[in-house]
Structure 1
Amino acid sequence: MQSMKVVEFMNRNPAVFTADMPIEAVVERLLKSRQRGGPVVDDERRVIGFISEQDCLAAMLRDTYHKEQSANVSDCMFSGEVLCVFAGDSITDVAQRMDLRKPKIYPVLDDDNRQLVGLITRTDVLAAIDGYFRDSYRRR
């Protein structure tokens, strides 16, 4: 199972956001892609933050309640150290990181230049492990 790599199971075309994007556009993109959140990137596709459905909901409720202008991603994104994985990481290593206290979604970075190349979710990891076990049972 160590030979199964993130690059084989990641979403190569995830919804990605920029810091200046309005929250309404983020929500539209999240709903269309059915993602629960996504990375915020700079012009070089380097991850600078993460925005979740929860962040969007809080911003929209606040803006509606106060009848203020719409917030941008930079106003409500998580801008601390975003936990990322690398395309060459093993699925089992990523699975071990995904305990209850960790994110359920990880931006995937290129092993060399650390630019965003995809996204992997707990569901993707579960499907990879399930596929491995199904193949193992068939070979018996």
Structure 2
Amino acid sequence: MQSLTVASYMNKRPVSFKPDSPVAEAVEKLLRSNQIGGPVLDANKHVIGWISEQDCLHKMIESSYHCESAALVEDIMRTDVLSINESASILELGQQMLQAKPKAYPVVEDKRLVGIITRRDVLTAINAHLSSCFSKSA
């Protein structure tokens, strides 16, 4: 159970965004990275927001109707970001994900981004743990 920590399964090199970036640029970065969203960082690498595919889709559709350029990341980012630290338990995070709806969490240490962890990462960790349990008993 000791190895089931966020640090062991998080993405240590996530795509992140600047608040003054155009939404269209954020969409391109999300598409290239296969992330469903990402943290918005200030100049000190502190998480100040989160932008998701859903946030971008809404703004891009709206912009396409009016043939306007899309807004900036800071215009559509969420500022009520739930985060977790890297020493947290995967099982506790999984329990938290059952209650709260975020599919991905920024991993923060000393207020700075060190990675992100997704629902898929949590499932991967739990699956690996269960597989090792069953292989030991066989």
| 1:64 Cα deviation from its structure 2 partner | 1.6
Please say if residues 30 and 37 of structure 1, whose CA atoms lie closer than 8 Å, have aligned partners that are also in contact.
yes
Partner of 2:102: 103
Matched, 1:38 2:38: yes
Contact 1:2 1:91 in 2 (8 A): no
| Alignment TM-score, normalising by the size of structure 1 | 0.93
Q: How many residues align?
A: 137
d(CA) in 1 for partners of 2:112, 2:17: 14
Alpha-carbon distance in 1 for matches of 2:115, 2:94: 17
**Unaligned stretches of 5+ in structure 1?**
none
2:117 to 111, 120, 133: 120
CA RMSD of aligned residues (A): 1.2
Match of 1:87 in 2: 86
Bigger helix fraction: 2
Structure 2 counterpart SS, 1:86: coil
Query: Alignment identity in percent?
Result: 45
Runs of 4+ aligned structure 1 residues displaced above 3 Å come to none
Q: TM-score, normalised by structure 2?
A: 0.94
- Secondary structure of 1:99 counterpart: helix
The CA distance in 2 between the partners of 1:101 and 1:122, in whole Å, is 12
Deviation digits for residues 33-74 of structure 1 (CA, Å, limit 9, x no counterpart): 111111111011111111011111111111121222321101
Q: Deviations over 1:80-114 (max 9, x none)?
A: x200010010111101011164201000011xx12
- In structure 1, what is the equivalent of residue 134 of structure 2? 137
